[in-house]
Structure 1
Amino acid sequence: MQGKIACANVLSDLYAMGVSECDNMLMLLGISENFTYTQRQVVTPMMIQGFTDLCAEAGTSVNGGQTVINPWVIIGGVASAVCNKSEFIMPDGAVAGDVLVLTKPLGTQVAVNAHQWIEQPKWWDKVKDVITTEQVEEAYMAATYSMARLNRTGARLMHSYGAHGATDVTGFGLLGHARNLASAQKAPVSFKIHTLPVLDHMNRVASIIASRGLDFKLKEGLSAETSGGLLICLPKENSAAFCEELQKLDGAPSWIIGDVVAGNRTAEILSDAKIIDVDNSQ
């Protein structure tokens, strides 16, 4: 699964530009120097298999890369495509009146950490009053499958519904990437985010753990995501249909989370932003 997540994360850089076909994929692999021989023989092929399997689902294949011995296990890559102008969407065309659509829920970092805490009493004792181990397992599985899901369908639908630009949401969190996208716009606009869709129970976990020494800044939009969704600027009149078709094709929800307004190329999460608890069974 780690290999699949890495592949999905790498491909999202293309998908955020509306490019749905990857012409070349390189895989970068770091094998832990602390692995035993048996661990290396079991774990390494599984990681490679996950990466190549999702490449196949995306209609591409690994054509090279590099493998090194490393203190930690690392897997990633480089995705590239040769396109004509009609095949990509520059991320700079948002106009006032557009809306912001997010195609995956937030909270993956919180879910993965909470799953680790089940076996770490120091941390589990801080959250066990607000969540059960079963709820953590459900959130962890939902996060895992979300991270491994390609943003390819969203990239295709960006063309169908007249998207004016997009970015993928990863290490800088929702607000960090929204700020980067807003700063790139040709028109003097700003992004106002009014809704935060979060994996069920993860807002509660993030809130309690913040009061006890570890602040993910989830509600502030600064919690890192891995292989997160696309944040897309869409004409308001097309946004509901986009979400409906993405749900039909991918079997997963997306959300209208904000507005594009006249401004000075900034982004903010409104103080009264609504938290949506996303059903982890979806």
Structure 2
Amino acid sequence: MSEKKRQKTERAPFDPVRHGLRADFRLTRFTKLKGWCKVPQEELLKLLAGLGSSLNISDGESLGAGLDCCVIPTRHEGISLVQTTDFFYPLVDDPYDQGRIACANVLSDLYAMGVTDCDNLLMLLGISTDLSKPERDVVTPLMMEGFRDCAEEAGTSVNGGQSVLNPWFIIGGVASSVCAKNEYIMPYNAVPGDVLVLTKALGTQIAVNAHQWIEQSETYQKIADVITKEGVRKAYESASASMSRLNRIGATLMRKYGAHGATDVTGFGLLGHAQNLAKCQKESVDFIIHSLPIIAGMSDTAKIAAKKIFDFKLHEGFSAETSGGLLIVLPKEKAGAFCQEIEELEGMPGWIIGDVTSGNHTAKIADDARVIEA
């Protein structure tokens, strides 16, 4: 293990006091929204129609708005620009981790296209006007450091961007890759008999919210019967580690095992993104999801939260995820080897969670779908 990687592995959790801040400083207080900040999918499609932008699958070379990246042929024959942008608000209290998560989230859209190398990365940063100067001087450099370190891990660097003052903290970026045709995988080649593979567990949104509820005694008591505070903390740590992890290995294996398409699971939830992917397929297929890998403890927490606090719609497939896993369409005979190799390389499993059948470009979660505690 390199010295730099060893230092990252041993990095201590963020302690506000150690940085000269109040003990009760929480980054997540500088926004009113977290992972459910996306414009609803139906409204977004109407807005995109107003732009005159649509998904183009007719020529096999370009993608407009609607999926993870745009793929735009350049004036140079055989060369396309693959590009994406993303940003969101703080959902963890460690500024360094928040920076890493934001960078991983931006790059994930490239990885969903099977693109493994980012040629240029920009950072978008909105610094909250509610921060005091001492808070701003501590938090902002840590967040930028996390973003930069994640970019370096991905083999790229931050070469510009924009920083502004804003009522809420915002962090994200723009990722671009200049690709030949064999360097990306179009997302629309699913055929009946394929299977769906997911590379990260679900439930990050429940985990980060439950972690905040620990400090809100009245709210935590509503879930105390199904999960201990220690259980919440473990789920939060698992979610933070998952969100910080790049999908680059998954993208590499997509190409190795002949993926027929993919998307990453983020703000619209597992089913929302599966539906979006199903709609763009060339063949008339359906996606049937039969398994839901969920961070340990978050399935029961989501159920009781739905009754007493807020319904995240986790089991219905619409709970937002941040920097979630890749949902990959693979030939059935290759999916097992894909899952085995990604676990060997990352130390974390992948799961076969669904089937591709003949159908009408829809996706659904089976009534008898099973939950896998991850």
Q: Same fold (TM over 0.5)?
A: yes
Q: Report the Cα offset of residue 158 of structure 1.
A: 0.4
Are 1:72 and 2:168 matched, yes or no? yes
Structure-2 separation of matches of 1:197 and 1:272:
14
Structure-2 separation of matches of 1:162 and 1:61:
29
Structure-2 separation of matches of 1:37 and 1:216:
35
Are 1:123 and 2:219 matched, yes or no? yes
Alignment of 1:76-91 (within 5 A): 76-91=172-187
Counterpart position of 1:196? 292
Deviations 1:56-91 (A, max 9, x none): 000000011000001111110010100000000000
Structure-2 separation of matches of 1:11 and 1:230:
12
Counterpart position of 2:256? 160
Alignment of 1:80-229 (within 5 A): 80-229=176-325
Structure-2 separation of matches of 1:182 and 1:269:
13
Letter in 1 for 2:330: L
Counterpart position of 1:268? 364
Are 1:15 and 2:111 matched, yes or no? yes
Letter in 1 for 2:119: D
Letter in 1 for 2:160: G
Identity among equivalent pairs (%): 65
Q: Paired residue for 1:236, among 315, 332, 335?
A: 332
Q: Paired residue for 1:254, among 345, 350, 354?
A: 350
SS of residue matched to 2:178: coil
- Alpha carbon RMSD of aligned pairs, Å? 0.5
Q: 95-104 or 113-122: which moved more?
A: 113-122
Q: Report the Cα offset of residue 213 of structure 1.
A: 4.0
SS of residue matched to 1:222: coil
Q: Report the Cα offset of residue 214 of structure 1.
A: 1.2
Q: Report the Cα offset of residue 122 of structure 1.
A: 2.8
The runs of 5 or more residues in structure 1 that have no matched partner are: none
Q: Report the Cα offset of residue 235 of structure 1.
A: 0.1
Counterpart position of 2:128? 32
State the TM-score, normalizing by the size of structure 1: 0.98
Counterpart position of 1:41? 137
4+ residue runs over 4 A deviation: none
Letter in 2 for 1:227: S
Q: 204-213 or 148-157: which moved more?
A: 204-213
Counterpart position of 1:61? 157
SS of residue matched to 2:208: helix
Deviations 1:173-199 (A, max 9, x none): 000000000001000000000000000
Q: 150-159 or 119-128: which moved more?
A: 119-128
SS of residue matched to 2:190: coil
Change (3 A) 1:213 1:44: closer
Structure-2 separation of matches of 1:223 and 1:53:
28
Structure-2 separation of matches of 1:68 and 1:176:
32
Q: Report the Cα offset of residue 266 of structure 1.
A: 0.2
Structure-2 separation of matches of 1:98 and 1:179:
16
Are 1:51 and 2:147 matched, yes or no? yes
State the TM-score, normalizing by the size of structure 2: 0.74
Deviations 1:4-50 (A, max 9, x none): 00000000110000000000000000101011111010000000000
Structure-1 separation of matches of 2:307 and 2:232:
19
Structure-1 separation of matches of 2:135 and 2:123:
20
Give the conservation status (yes or no) of the 8 Å contact 2:219–2:309: no
Structure-1 separation of matches of 2:215 and 2:200:
28
Letter in 2 for 1:156: T
Structure-2 separation of matches of 1:273 and 1:151:
25
